[in-house]
Structure 1
Amino acid sequence: MKVEQIYTGCLAQGAYYIESQGEAVIIDPLREIKPYLLKAEKNGAKIKYVLETHFHADFVSGHVDLAQAAGAEIVFGAAAAPSFPAHLAQDGEVLKVGEVTFQVLHTPGHTPESVTYLLKDETGKDYALFTGDTLFIGDVGRPDLAAKSDLTQEELAGMLYDSLRNKIMPLDDDVLVYPAHGAGSACGKNMSKETFDTLGHQKQTNYALRADMTKAEFVQEVTDGLLPPPGYFPLNVQLNKQGYANIEQVLTNGLQPLSAQAFEAMVKETGALVLDTRKPTVFAAQHIPNSINIGIDGSFAPWVGELIPDIQQPIVFVSDEGREEEVVTRLARVGYDNTLGYLQGGLPAWTAAGKETASQSSISAQEFAQRLQESPALVVDVRKPGEFDAEHIEGALNVPLSNLNEHLPQIPKERTVYLHCAGGYRSMIAASILKARGFSNLVDVAGGYKAISETQIPRTAFVCPSSLK
């Protein structure tokens, strides 16, 4: 038996490859399916099942394309109702793969159709649990993501309590727990940076698995402090439930090289958004006017999903040479399939064609602190509320990046606005969005609050008494 976790850090997502005696299963695969096919081919195995724990909200799964390419069967729990052929497994049903088996455990709560797969080894011993979003390391799945459900989050949380107590916690402590997500995912609140653990250790350390916890206490703790889910989540659920365009066609469409003239024409003809995926510092130095900077080296796909409301939005992009396929793939992972091409030759080709460029003012944390000493300033902190509450510049305005579009009227266009986040990634995204919305007096603080807090300027300098007045 071979069990391999395939973890994708930018999505904090875990897919799984399990193989026995020439047969394999893939659990919760990503959109791009070639790595799974190549792995099975290299091992001389045939993919028998594609097991889905639920309809994912934070990414588009590769189940449809993978099943078709591998001749495999898609498996969901009995409460799922996909629009494509799939086997809907009953609670307790056993799936045989080589010399091992998977027992399907219905574990509703995160969503009504959620299931957990219990892997038993060649001897029939319980070996591992593939819990999807039912049980994380250090947390459990949030109960407010069910699409078009008439169940309240409190009702779903109650179902999750029963699923954990009746289906998962009675299992032996040495059973391994393999979840679908780790720290950084919006599918839970307090996930650990660890990507797997033993069930026994989780019973000792996971707040949601306390032995003396009542259902009422569980519901209160699991639902307390939930932030609104990203807007693209319901759209991804529908794609996972109804099907989607073939990934190879999406790549073909998105990897069209466009000359500067063709790029500009495409934007005018289609209303395409210009997405600049280069590093924030490079974007600041020179970029196409009105382009939005979301760097490929950060949490790229989740921020695209947070900030571009329409997954059908036409997109053309600027990237570092050689990373074009990565950009299109990562967009497709969260359902943004309408990518129409990229700027061939990048910014040098754009400037060589005599096209207009823009830049974004960015100053060091030291210079920012000195400016605050000299005169009051309007500072906009785009970090999450929890980050802001922990420590911030006195008088700064907290406008989390995820809510920026809704709070534009709060930011006066006539004032010079200093923008910062934790390390500089999010503040440049914010600056590009504000600039595209007509804000012209923007200054980015490079290095963000981390760099600000490390300056030698006295802490009294970090006071912005003017606020919005």
Structure 2
Amino acid sequence: MFHRTYLHHDPIAISYLFGCAGQGQAAVIDPVLPPQHYLDEAAALGVTITYVIDTHLHADHLSTARDLAHRSGAAYVLHRSAQTAFPFHPVDDGEVLTLGNVTVQALHTPGHTPEHLTLLVTDHRRAEEPWLAFTGHTLMVGDLGRTELASDPEEGARALYRTAKRLKGLPDHLQIYPGAFSGSVCGRTLSGNPSSTIGFERRYNTALAITDEEAFVAMMLQDIPPRPVDFEVTRALNSGYATVSAS
């Protein structure tokens, strides 16, 4: 299995290219850069992009996922609950996507947004259990994602509490690769380290450590970071309900 991480600073985000080099199949997670970047990277590795996956419909930046999927011939993947003006490849909780010797299990992890996905990745050449999770803006290094950009803040916080309990049940050794790092408006106390493990976050992530739902909701509704500029328009653009002006 190969795995490439791309850190972006304008906007602050992380995208990924990974897959099975032996079988020549790859997926891209949360693309931000122009599609040609990922196409060039895939070509250099001798792989074909089979899936382009957005962990959620972003409100802080424009996704290039649909354009990349169109140009690569890949399926554009979202959770089935995503509300869009365009067709996509829907996945349900527990569904598995195959990339040669690598499999990707979709977990529905709402809270940051209602349709949010976490993706558990297994390299079957190494073991028959996942070794990493792409967690998007749900579980990040040092914090959990804000909950009011796509839903009622309290409703989102209660969904995120249930999601956090589920993620805490994953094995300690599981590596996590989130969709943002320090400087992103999608969290409060994000680390500049772009990866971690479930065990480390369970021990040192203050938000993840809260075990009482009411205390968790109260925490999530305090000290909410400033909202991204035009976040509603950005999410509408990523959902296909708005178009970029030619001017």
Q: Deviations over 1:250-288 (max 9, x none)?
A: xxxxxxxxxxxxxxxxxxxxxxxxxxxxxxxxxxxxxxx
Please state which structure has a larger fraction of its residues in helix.
1
In structure 2, C-alpha distance between the alignment counterparts of 1:226 and 1:243, rounded to whole Å = 27
Work out whether 1:180 is the aligned partner of 2:179. yes
Contact 2:233 2:242 in 1 (8 A): no
Query: In the aligned structure 2, how far is the partner of 1:244 from the partner of 1:130?
Result: 28
CA contact (8 A) 1:31 1:60 kept: no
Residue number among 52, 58, 61 corresponding to 1:59 in the alignment: 61
Distance in 1 of aligned mates of 2:238 and 2:91? 18
- How far the C-alpha of 1:244 sits from its partner, in A, is 7.4
- Counterpart selection for 2:239 from 211, 235, 241: 241
Q: Which has the higher contact order (CA 8 A, sep 6+)?
A: 2
**Does residue 22 in structure 1 map to residue 21 in structure 2?**
no
Q: Structure 1 residue 159: deviation in Å?
A: 0.5
Q: Distance in 1 between matches of 2:85 and 2:118?
A: 21
Following superposition, the deviation at residue 9 of structure 1 comes to 2.3
- In 2, Cα distance between equivalents of 1:43 and 1:3: 11
Distance 1:36 1:120 in 2: 22
Aligned letter for 1:114?
Answer: H
Alpha-carbon shift at residue 19 of structure 1 (Å)? 1.8
Displaced runs of 4 or more, over 6 A: none
User: For the residues of structure 2 that align with 1:29 and 1:17, how far apart are their CA atoms?
Assistant: 9
- Determine which structure has the larger strand proportion and give its number: 2
Tell me the residue number matched to 2:220. Answer: 222
Alignment TM-score, normalising by the size of structure 1? 0.50
User: Which whole-Å CA distance do the structure 1 matches of 2:164 and 2:123 have between them?
Assistant: 22
Please name the residue that 2:168 is paired with: 169
**Structure 1 residues 70, 43: CA separation in 2 closer, same or farther (over 3 Å shift)?**
same
Give distance in 1, aligned partners of 2:105 and 2:206: 26
Q: Tell me by how many angstroms 1:155 deviates.
A: 1.3
Secondary structure of the residue aligned to 1:76 is strand
Q: Does 2:132 match 1:128?
A: yes
CA drift at 1:52: 0.8
The alignment's TM-score, normalised by the length of structure 2, stands at 0.94
Alpha-carbon offset, residue 95 of structure 1: 0.5
Question: Quick check: which has more Rg, 1 or 2?
Answer: 1
Percent of pairs with identical residues: 37
Measured in 2, the distance between the counterparts of 1:215 and 1:153 equals: 14
Which digits, 9 at most, give the CA deviation of each residue in 1:180-210, with x for residues without a partner? 0001011111111111011111111101121
Structure 2: tracts of 5 or more residues without a match: none
Name 2:208's counterpart in structure 1.
209
SS in 2 for 1:126: coil
Q: What is the match of residue 118 of structure 1?
A: 120
Equivalent residue number for residue 11 of structure 1:
11
The CA distance in 1 between the partners of 2:49 and 2:242, in whole Å, is: 21
Q: Indicate conservation of the 8 Å contact 1:64/1:243, yes or no.
A: no
Change in 2 beyond 3 A, CA 1:243/1:19: farther
- The within-5 A match list for 1:16-165 is 16-20=16-20, 21-122=23-124, 123-146=127-150, 149=151, 152-165=152-165
Q: How does 1:174-323 map to 2 (within 5 A)?
A: 174-210=173-209, 213-242=211-240, 312=245
Inter-partner Cα distance in structure 2 for 1:51 and 1:58: 17
Is contact 1:129–1:178 with CA below 8 Å preserved after alignment?
yes
